[in-house]
Amino acid sequence: MGARCCKFSVCWWHSPLKPSLLQPSSDTEKDEKSALPIFKEFSLEELKAATAGFSTDNIVSEHGEKAPNVVYKGRLPDDCWIAVKRFTRAAWPDSHQFIEEARLVGKLRSERLANLIGFCSDGHERLLVAEFMPNDTLAKHLFHWESQPMKWAMRLRVALYLAQALECCSSNGRALYHDLNAYRVLFDQDCNPRLSCFGLMKNSRDGKSYSTNLAFTPPEYLRTGRVTQESVIYSFGTLMLDLLSGKHIPPSHALDLIRGKNFLMLMDSCLEGHFTNDDGTELMRLATRCLQYEARERPNTKSIVTALISLQKETEVPSRELMCISNEDANSSEPLLLTPMGEACLRIDLTAIHEILDKIGYKDDAGIANELSFQVWTDLMQETLNSKKQGDSAFRAKDFTNAIECYTQFIDGGTMVSPTVFARRCLSYLMTDKPQQALGDAMQAQVVSPEWSTAFYLQAATLFKLGMDTDAQESLKEATNLESKRNKK
C-alpha cells in the first residue's frame, strides 16, 4: 500500500470499490459481452461467508427481516459486492425449475439491469446472486427524500431507463416482470437507475405471481390471477404516476382525479416551475395509456421508449449530478461487512472492545523492532517491563486509572515500543472519559504499526466518541480494508 495522507493527524486511505462487481479476480472467467463475471453456481458456504452467516445486519430488502424472501448485501473474496436473495422453502420446492429459471435470467446482460450473476441450490436453500446497487431505491429517493426532491430531468431519465430495461427483457424473451414497483428500481455507483433482475424470476411456470397491494394490481390479474406482458405495462404506468406525483397513488384514484381536469392536480408540488406544461401533459398522457383497463389498448415497450426519448432533459448531465450525490457520498454508501471489532467500535461498545483487546494480547506486536541498547537487561529495562506487566494486570482487572499510570511509565521509559500498549492505554482513556488523549494513543499505535487494523479501529471509536462521525466512518473503512487484506494472506 502506498503512502497515506493525514487528516486531524489521523491517517486515512480509501480505495473506492467499482460499482459493477465489476471486475472479477484474475482467475475468474469474464462474460465476453461485459465486465461481469460469468454466470455461475455458488456454494452455500461461499454465500454464508460473503454475508457473515446471513447476518441480520446485512439485510437490505426494504421490508427487513420479516420479508418472506430476504435480500442481503455481501462481499466476495475478490472484493466484489453482491446482493443475495434468499427464498423461503415454499417459494421454490422444485430445484430443477429454480435452476432453469435462474440460468435463463442469467443470460440477460444490460446496463439497465442490476444483473444476475449466479445462484445457489443446496438442499432446501434457494438463493440468487446479483450486482449490488449502493445508492438505494427509487422509493427512497422519491417518497422518503431528506434534503431535496428528485429533479424533473432525473424523473424523466428514470422513466426512460426503466422502459429501456423492460424493452431489453421483452426482446430477449423475458417480457414478464413480477410486481414492478418503486422498490424494484435501484441506483448504481454512478446513480444511474437500474431494474432489479429479481422480478424476472417467476415462482411457477404459469405466471401466477403477484404480491403487490391490490390497489395497484392490473385489472386482469384480479379477474384471472395471471400476469401478462400487458400487466407489466400497467405496472409501469403506476410508476409513471409515482414519478409525476412523488407519491404512491392508486391508479384508479389518480385517473378519477384528473378526469376532465388539469394534470397539475397530480403533479408533485416540489416540481413547480421546473417543467413545462407540454412535458407534464405528455408524460401524463403516456401514463394514462399504460393504465388502460383493457390490456390490448396499452402501448408496448418499444413505443414507450420512443415517446420518452423525446422528453429527455439535461442529457449531458451525469445522473450523480442530477441526484446531487457526490463521489464521496456514493463511496460512503458502500456497505461494510464489519468484524466484531468493527461493530463494537461503531456502537462505541467499550466493554466489547476491552474483551477483544484482552483476548488478542500482544500477538500483533510480533515483528515490531525494539531498539534496545547493549545494556539489555539493566535495572531500567527490568523496571520498564514490570510497569508493562502491572499495566496488563490492571487492564485485565478493569482498573483503567491504574492501567493508564503503569502504561505511561512503560512508554516514558523509551527503551521499547509496543503498539498494543498504546492501544490498551487508548481504551483505558476512553473508559475514563478522556477521548482526546485516547485519539492521540490510537494515532501513535498507527505510527508504530502503519498496517495494523486495530489502530484504525480505535481511531474510529474515539472519533465517534468525539462526535466526528464522518472521519470515524473513514477510519472504520480503512480498518476493515486492512483486516480483509491481512486475512487473505
Would you give per-residue pLDDT tens digits along the chain (489 residues)? 333 333 333 332 222 223 332 233 333 345 544 566 689 999 999 999 998 888 887 888 744 444 567 899 998 888 789 999 998 877 888 999 999 999 999 999 999 999 999 999 999 999 999 999 999 999 999 998 878 899 999 999 999 999 999 999 999 999 989 888 899 999 999 999 999 999 898 754 444 555 556 778 888 888 887 888 999 999 999 999 999 999 888 888 888 877 766 778 888 889 888 889 899 989 999 999 999 999 999 999 999 999 999 999 999 999 999 998 866 554 444 555 788 898 889 889 999 999 999 999 998 785 443 444 434 445 557 777 889 999 999 999 999 999 999 999 999 887 778 999 999 999 999 999 999 999 999 999 988 888 899 999 999 999 989 988 878 888 888 898 888 888 776
Architecture of domain 18-131: 2-Layer Sandwich (3.30)
Q: Which of 286, 300, 311 is nearest to 167 (CA)?
A: 300
Partners of residue 472 on adjacent β-strands: none
Is 94 catalytic? The answer is: no
Q: Which of 351, 319, 240 is nearest to 287 (CA)?
A: 240
End-to-end CA distance of the chain: 14
pLDDT at position 204 is: 43
According to DSSP, residue 268 is labeled -
Cβ within 8 Å of residue 391, ≥6 positions away: 402, 403, 405, 406, 407, 409, 410, 421, 424, 425
The Cα 341–Cα 323 span in angstroms is: 34
Cβ within 8 Å of residue 454, ≥6 positions away: 341, 357, 360, 364, 419, 423, 445, 479
The CATH superfamily of 340-488 is: Tetratricopeptide repeat domain (1.25.40.10)
Given the residues 78, 179, 188, 349, the one annotated as active site = 179
- CA torsion, ordered 310, 216, 84, 73, to nearest 10 deg: 80
Architecture of domain 138-332: Orthogonal Bundle (1.10)
The Cα 111–Cα 33 span in angstroms is: 11
Residues 234, 298: contact at Cβ < 8 Å? yes
What residue spans in the chain does CATH classification 3.30.200.20 cover?
A: 18-131
pLDDT at position 151 is: 95
pLDDT at position 273 is: 86
433: left (phi over 0), alpha (psi -120 to 50) or beta: left
Give the global pTM: 0.64
What residue spans in the chain does CATH classification 1.10.510.10 cover?
A: 138-332
